[in-house]
Amino acid sequence: MSKGGGKIFTPTNQIRLTNIAVVRMKKGGKRFEIACYKNKVQSWRQKIEKDLDEVLQSEAVFTNVSKGQVAKKGELLKCFETEDQKKVCLEILEKGELQVSDKERHANQEASFREIASIVSDKCINPETKTPYTVSMIESAMKDLHFSLNPKRNNKQQALDVIKQLTGRIPIQRAQMRVRMIIPGKEAKKLKEKVVPLMKVESEKFDPDLNIEGLIDPGHFRTIEEIITAPTKGKAKIEVMSLKDMTDVGDMALT
């Protein structure tokens, strides 16, 4: 907001920049718009980006961003029951329609589709061959599923959806994480009974603490960490030795 003459700064002269995005909402028979940074609207909606200043170009509410026409307070009060522009911006950001061209929308969808496939490729293996699926193979499988993108879920969440849907259709399972745990001897027996059901033990020895190595589902890491660290006041430790249980693949590129 400009101090001189009480004028409100508008992004009129920035509308041609490649990083601007307009979110539009119709309410009370009127159109309202907010000016955002490109690629930030979806991040906000997926709760990846949490800093509003990184999303909004301006907290002003417009009737037309490209012309720099700011909505009047009376219009906001009538349609949103508040003059607080930040509150109105938040409502438009949450419920409004992101204005993008068909070409841009298609490009964004393709990028999201490939990123989801990449996450699945990185997290899963073929249990029969102990090798990863390539990204292109996962993309092909997703197309066979007729998988539809959900803009309200982030790509990591959608990757888990894909894994669930692919299970039973192709041989696929979450890649195992190889971990090492060190548990003080005093607590070792009791805690071992709790963690063993969550892992495939490969080796164990007392020296004088209990050292256990084995494979776990990545989703069990935090659970095991909580099981062993709380009772030992942080003396017990779990560390990742490798992220995948694969054989004969070396540094195979996931392409």
| Chain center to CA of 149 | 13
Question: If you search the block for the tokens 């307070």, which residue do you land on?
Answer: 73
Q: Could you tell me which residues come within 8 angstroms of residue 142 by beta carbon, excluding any fewer than 6 positions away?
A: 113, 116, 117, 162
Quick one: pLDDT at residue 127?
A: 87
Q: Does residue 200 contact residue 215 with C-beta atoms inside 8 Å?
A: yes
- pLDDT tens sequence across 124-140: 988 888 788 999 999 99
- pLDDT tens sequence across 71-102: 999 999 999 999 999 999 999 999 999 987 78
Percent of the chain at pLDDT exceeding 70? 87
DSSP states of 59-82 as a string? S--EEETTTTEEPPHHHHHHHHS-
- CA-wise closest residue to 99 among 163, 158, 13, 26: 26
Q: Does residue 171 contact residue 125 with C-beta atoms inside 8 Å?
A: no
pLDDT band for 70, please (50, 70, 90 cuts): very high
Return d(Cα 86, Cα 220) in angstroms, integer: 40
Three-state DSSP state, 238: strand
Quick one: pLDDT at residue 181?
A: 94
Return d(Cα 52, Cα 63) in angstroms, integer: 20
Q: Does residue 31 contact residue 63 with C-beta atoms inside 8 Å?
A: yes
Return d(Cα 128, Cα 80) in angstroms, integer: 58
pTM of the model: 0.56
Return d(Cα 69, Cα 62) in angstroms, integer: 6
